[in-house]
């Protein structure tokens, strides 16, 4: 140091402070990071795709709710009265239809979600891969 001013080394850290930090620290060489430069449009597009994938994974829960409600009503309800001008037999048919459709959709969406889960990367990793490799023109199909 000269003139009372600290000798600024790397990143403006005083050389003596930097030496003390390195003397007391354990450094690992596998901490390589990628710096990604992207546009806000590309990031919005990737986030929208990511949100769709997450929603597809959660869709079975929607159909599970419908199926449990319909099957619960069918097993515990008595469809003998007229409600809102609709006879009990019609209500029974409606609940049977809802139970059947929601059960089929529950199975289909669960199989699709399981297939996506076992087939590829985690959604977060897929998001990072797409955000760093795909070009906007690849997604939009034009010159981007």
Residue 71 has pLDDT above 70, yes or no: yes
DSSP character at residue 139: H
Distances (CA, A) of 119 to 13, 105, 112: 48, 21, 10
Domain residue extents for the chain: 1-32, 38-137
**pLDDT at residue 142, rounded to an integer:** 54
DSSP for 4-52?
Answer: TB--B-GGG-BHHHHHHHHHH----S----------HHHHHHHHHHHHH
pTM equals 0.50
**pLDDT at residue 103, rounded to an integer:** 93
Strand-pair partners of 2: 5
CA gap 53, 116 in Å, rounded: 9
Confidence band (pLDDT; 50, 70, 90) for 8? Answer: low
Q: What are phi and psi of 8, to 5 degrees?
A: -75, 120
CA gap 62, 92 in Å, rounded: 22
Mean pLDDT value of segment 81-109: 87
Residue 73 has pLDDT above 80, yes or no: yes
**pLDDT at residue 2, rounded to an integer:** 44
**pLDDT at residue 10, rounded to an integer:** 52
């Amino acid at each position: 140091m000269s003139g009372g001013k600290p000798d600024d080394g790397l990143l403006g850290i005083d050389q003596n402070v930097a030496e003390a930090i390195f003397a007391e620290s354990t450094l690992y060489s596998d901490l390589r990071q990628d710096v990604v430069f992207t546009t806000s449009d590309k990031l919005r597009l990737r986030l929208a795709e990511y949100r769709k994938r997450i929603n597809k994974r959660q869709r079975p829960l929607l159909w599970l709710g419908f199926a449990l409600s319909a099957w619960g009503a069918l097993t515990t309800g008595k469809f003998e009265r007229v409600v809102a001008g609709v006879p009990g037999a019609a209500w029974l048919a409606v609940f049977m239809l809802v139970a059947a459709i929601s059960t089929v959709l529950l199975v289909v969406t669960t199989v699709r979600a399981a297939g996506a889960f076992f087939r590829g990367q985690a959604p977060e990793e897929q998001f990072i891969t797409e955000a760093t490799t795909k070009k906007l023109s690849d997604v939009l199909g034009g010159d981007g």
